[in-house]
Chain A
Amino acid sequence: MMDKKVRKTAAILGIIAFLFFSFAFTMVPLYNTFCRTTGYNGKVDLKAAKHTNATIPINRKITMQFVTMNNNDLPWDFYAKASYMEISPEQNYKMIFSVKNRTEKTMTVQAIPSVTPWQAAKHLHKIQCFCFSKQSLQSGEAKDMPLIFWIDKDLPKDIKTITLAYTLFDVG
């Protein structure tokens, strides 16, 4: 009688423990969804956005800065053609990023974007970006990669400068 009750308690508690074990894994999609929807951490959607459909230009100047970094001293050249550009909301802009594989072998890399301040992340829309996919270059090969983007008009008024940082990772 008592034994049955004990076994029942133990089984319930065992299930709770297992659920918390699974919870550790569900944190991954939860965290990603949370970050992508709110833009916390400066995470941006890695899917192509639509063109802006605004027709009347908005008179507001924003400085868009481009920062490039190589993770772990990756031996590639990686830079934006200009370090910044003056832009207005609701208009498409294009920036070219150059890469060159300085190694002796073919390598595959992935650029990971991050937006500062993070409040700007969900107002940045990328129509085309090299960061959407992995890039493979042979030894010594160079390439110009375009980024086409626009900023929407709901960008908080106090944001006058946005920094878009790309870090290049070796993904084997």
Chain B
Amino acid sequence: MNHAAHLPHHRKTFIGWISRWLFTTNHKDIGTLYLFFSLFMFFFGGIFAMLIRAKLFVPGTTFMQPNSYNEIVTLHGLVMIFGAIMPAFVGLANWMIPLMIGAPDMALPRMNNWSFWILPFAFSILLGTLLMSGPAPNFGWTMYAPLSTHFGPPSTDFLIVAIHLLGFSSVMGAINIIATIINLRAPGMTWMKMPIFAWSWFITAFLLIAAMPILAGTVTMMLFDRHFGTSFFSAAGGGDPLLYQHAFWSFGHPEVYIMILPGFGIISEVIPTFSRKRLFGYNFMVYALAAIAILSFLVWGHHMFTTGIALTAQLFFMYLTILIAVPTGIKVFNWVATMFKGSLTFETPMLFALAFIFLFTIGGFSGLMLAIVPADIQYHASYFVVAHFHYVLVAGALFSIMAGVYYWLPKWTGYFYNEMLGKLHFWISFLSINLTFFPMHFLGLAGMPRRIADYALQFTPLNFTCSLGAFVFGAIQFLFVYNIIYSILGMGRKASDHVWEGTHGLEWTLTSPPPYHSFTTPPKIN
């Protein structure tokens, strides 16, 4: 950011600096804010993860009370989902979508500012529960009734308000992205010429608009049950706690696709660049995204196989869940086909993208195992599930974000990161992530339950291994931060306009870094 010409006019004082970021309506500024915020929350959630693994390093109730453990598990989930993964994707969308579709800015810049600045407040409220007297929310990120209603600590109300704010933020962000893509595409950019990352976000934004309000409604009912004498989720008053699970998972399942579809978009940008080929089967990639999005609303019951739902319902959800493997398989196939006979090079973004394909597929297969009703009855609520969703969310969503950041960072700052350190970051992350989460498959199959602060003695060696891997993974992320700073401060090689050899698309026609206001006159698409 040492290009004074690219910066907006503001007074060169501290107040001027604050008001520039506080009142900014520029999509690049807001994208940067989102990305820094999510990086900060990633470390915050990471501290929780380290505490969890420190607790489980050895068996026994040393180091931490079980209730503190429950609080930390709850907040780890909420912070990582709503604070780290989702804002990172929204940040990437803010930065890249206007550049990719040739728009001057987002369609609703003021709302954009608002949807970002809600986040710090929401997370202050959520994390403030740790400082209150009495326990913080301690019932897991799924907030199951009656744990969160009848038995929820008073701090649960703060959690509910925080969720409402996060819902507002996400829905406004999603509306902005859809409005931008529908209305501000450069002349000649037809739907099927749109970059795949923009497509993936367009579909994700619809998932957000549908799913987040359902969560908001569900936590509102929770609030009513807690304070206003209703019994939505209480059997005593004629309600049903199972209804909570239905309502929650009809948000929760689309939510997991909200956290992976933009990742698919990033990978579909990175793989062609470093293969020096066009994306194989572009149309099918778009259709597959849409198919996954539609199916994601019809499979919530697979989280509830052991709740006693009817056999016909179990079969319905099982078959539809397995059906998702088809569009997902198309995507994996097309990524591999893109690389086939390409001139591959293995820079850091490509390494993360390859690891994504490999590890996300492992997570997908364990998901298929969990989708099978009789098998799920065995695996349910065990560490096998923990292994599954960390493979798709850490090795999947997080790796795709890292691939995206390394890929676009030289475009944003004008300077490369340190390639050697980037590769080191990748390899140590790749090894430690598998060291952390692969043994969890075995722990789960051997019967170790999740969400419990202690475990039986025979699980000690594998838990020791998991914790070791987690500490390494946590520590090596400082290298990621260093590399980002390295690029921002311009310590690396200067980046050309097209940055990488095999890049295509409007964003690479601009200078690196792009001017503060880009595409004030719409570009021509041929």
Chain A residues in the interface with B (C-beta under 8 A):
2, 5-6, 9-10, 13-14, 16-25, 27-28, 31-32, 35, 38, 40-41, 43, 46, 71, 110, 112, 118, 167, 169-171
Contact = CB atoms under 8 A, between A and B. Distances in A.
A126 to B, nearest CB: 16
Contact of B108 (A6, A21, A169, A171): A6
Given A13-B178, A16-B209, A22 B217 contact: yes
Contacts of B235: 71, 112, 167, 169
Q: Which of B175, B211, B212 has the most CB of A within 10 A?
A: B175
21 contacts: A10-B175, A13-B179, A17-B212, A20-B211, A20-B214, A20-B217, A21-B216, A24-B213, A24-B215, A24-B247, A27-B250, A28-B243, A31-B240, A40-B309, A40-B310, A41-B240, A41-B308, A41-B309, A46-B238, A118-B308, A167-B235
A24 B209 contact: no
A2 B240 CA distance: 48
B217 A112 contact: no
Categorize the interface residue count of chain B.
35 or more
Given A9-B182, A10-B107, A27-B243, A20 B236 contact: no
Interface string B6-34: 00000000000000000000000000000
Nearest to B216: A21
A6 B107 contact: yes
A17 B171 contact: yes
A24 B217 contact: yes
Given A27-B250, A31-B243, A112-B235, 7 more contacts: A6-B183, A13-B175, A13-B179, A20-B211, A23-B213, A25-B217, A27-B246
A118 B182 CA distance: 48
Interface of B is mostly: helix
A10 B179 contact: yes
B143 to A, nearest CB: 14
Interface in B176-231: 176, 178-179, 182-184, 209-218, 220-221
B237 interface: yes
A17 B176 CA distance: 13
A46 B210 CA distance: 34
